[in-house]
Amino acid sequence: MGKIIAISNQKGGVGKTTTSVNLASSLSYLGKRVLLVDVDHQANATTYMGINRANLKQTVANLFLDDTPPQSLIQKAESVDVDVLPARFELAHVESTLINKDNKDFILSNALETIREQYDYILIDCPPSLGIITINALVAADSVIIPVQCEFLAMDGLTQLLNTIRIIQNKQKYNNKTLKIEGVLLTMLDTRSNIGYEVIDEVKTYFKEKVFKTVIPRNVKCAVAPSFGLPVTEYSPRSKGSLSYQRLAKEMVSAIE
Ligand SMILES: Nc1ncnc2c1ncn2[C@@H]1O[C@H](COP(=O)(O)OP(=O)(O)O)[C@@H](O)[C@H]1O
Ligand SMILES: [Mg+2]
């Protein structure tokens, strides 16, 4: 049965989407059946996977708004063997409509349980907030990957995320889950400056063995690949960015399986 992993940090621009997309493609190269769920209304993961948002009749917003079965929303990524539950801008309006809905924190969880058996890994790319959509993602998840950018103020806001994780663990008692930290992922390391290495030390002191050994370097190919609608693992397979995400997938799988 598929493991559900949320990629979350309420800070924007830390590498959540880049990690979701490239971990998804890297897991597929290892022969894993992967679903990538985009729950950010900016829909970057959907675009990074080469899916044309304009052509979509329905998106993940329909799952929240009218209980559309997830199966009917799934698209194929353009270049890799990854299924995608796509998002679009209309997801931005979902939060306000959910406020008074019963069981509002469990919508995504209930939906993903119905398709969980079809996958080895279900990755959820979270928005940069701790609103209802992120709560849904975390409640649905077995574990969370927290990307942390190797920059000044990297740890800022993480206490809030950890508090949220504790609140989620309480909610999950209703569906027999306990959200774990899969790992803290250090991203966008600039190997030419000291600050990145200082952040690594700081994060490792705090999170200890929870930090992935694989560190993602800053690599221009990672930033360019999305404009071609490709994971960097397809756009530039031998680049440092690509190789580091493939290493991350192996590290994660060998820890889990
Ligand atoms: N390892 C990397 N090297 C260079 N640029 C990166 C790397 N990872 C992400 N980026 C770029 O940084 C920006 C933010 O990354 P993104 O994954 O969208 O973050 P988030 O989803 O947390 O907002 C994007 O423009 C992305 O292309
Ligand atoms: Mg993002």
- Write the residue with the smallest CA distance to atom 2 of ligand 1: 218
Residues contacting residue 136 through CB under 8 Å, at least 6 positions apart: 39, 64, 104, 105, 106, 107, 108, 109
Which residues are close to ligand 2, an ion, with C-beta < 5 A?
16-17, 44
Using a 6 Å CB cutoff, which residues line ligand 1? 12-18, 44, 128, 187-188, 216, 218-219, 222-223, 226, 241
Cβ atoms of 41 and 19 closer than 8 Å: no
Ligand 1 atom closest to Cα of residue 18:
17
Would you place residue 100 in the very low, low, confident or very high pLDDT band (cuts 50, 70, 90)? confident
Helix axes 240-256, 16-29, angle to 10 degrees: 70
pLDDT in tens, 144-190: 999 999 999 999 989 999 999 999 999 988 888 899 999 999 999 99
Neighbours of 94 (CB within 10 A): 22
Structure pTM?
0.98
pLDDT in tens, 14-48: 999 999 999 999 999 999 999 999 999 999 999 99
CA 30 to chain centre: 18
How many Å apart are CA 84 and CA 17, to the nearest integer?
13
Q: Report domain extents, the chain.
A: 3-256
Is the per-residue pLDDT at 102 higher than 90?
Answer: no
pLDDT in tens, 230-248: 999 999 999 999 999 999 9
Is residue 192 helix, strand or coil? coil
Neighbours of 1 (CB within 10 A): 10
When the candidates are 3.40.720.10, 3.40.50.300, 2.60.40.10, 3.40.50.880, the CATH number that belongs to 3-256 is 3.40.50.300
- Cα-to-centroid distance, 8 and ligand 2 (Å): 9
Would you place residue 90 in the very low, low, confident or very high pLDDT band (cuts 50, 70, 90)? very high
The whole-number pLDDT of residue 86 equals 98
- Cα-to-centroid distance, 143 and ligand 1 (Å): 22
pLDDT in tens, 103-147: 999 999 999 999 999 999 999 999 999 999 999 999 999 999 999
- Cα-to-centroid distance, 222 and ligand 1 (Å): 7
The whole-number pLDDT of residue 1 equals 84
Mean per-residue pLDDT for 194-200?
A: 95
The whole-number pLDDT of residue 173 equals 86
Say which ligand is closest to the CA of 147: 1
How many Å apart are CA 79 and CA 65, to the nearest integer?
30
- Cα-to-centroid distance, 18 and ligand 1 (Å): 6
The whole-number pLDDT of residue 112 equals 98
